[in-house]
Amino acid sequence: MYVDVVHTVRGRPAMIFDAKYKAASAGGACPNADHYQMLAYGTALGVPRAWLVYAGVGKPRSRRVLNTGVSVAEFPLDLSQEPEALLAKVRKLADVASTRA
pLDDT above 70: residue 29: no
Three-class SS of the chain:
CCCCEEEEECCEEEEEEEEEEEECCCCCCCCHHHHHHHHHHHHHHCCCEEEEEEECCCCCEEEECCCCCCEEEEEEECCCCCHHHHHHHHHHHHHHHHHCC
Q: What would the mean pLDDT of 89-95 be, rounded to a whole number?
A: 94
% of the chain at pLDDT higher than 90: 63
pLDDT above 80: residue 100: no
At 66-91, the pLDDT tens digits run: 899 999 999 999 999 999 999 999 99
At 16-25, the pLDDT tens digits run: 999 988 765 6
Supply the pLDDT for residue 24.
58
Q: Note the pTM of the prediction, 2 decimals.
A: 0.85
Q: What would the mean pLDDT of 22-38 be, rounded to a whole number?
A: 73
Supply the pLDDT for residue 26.
61
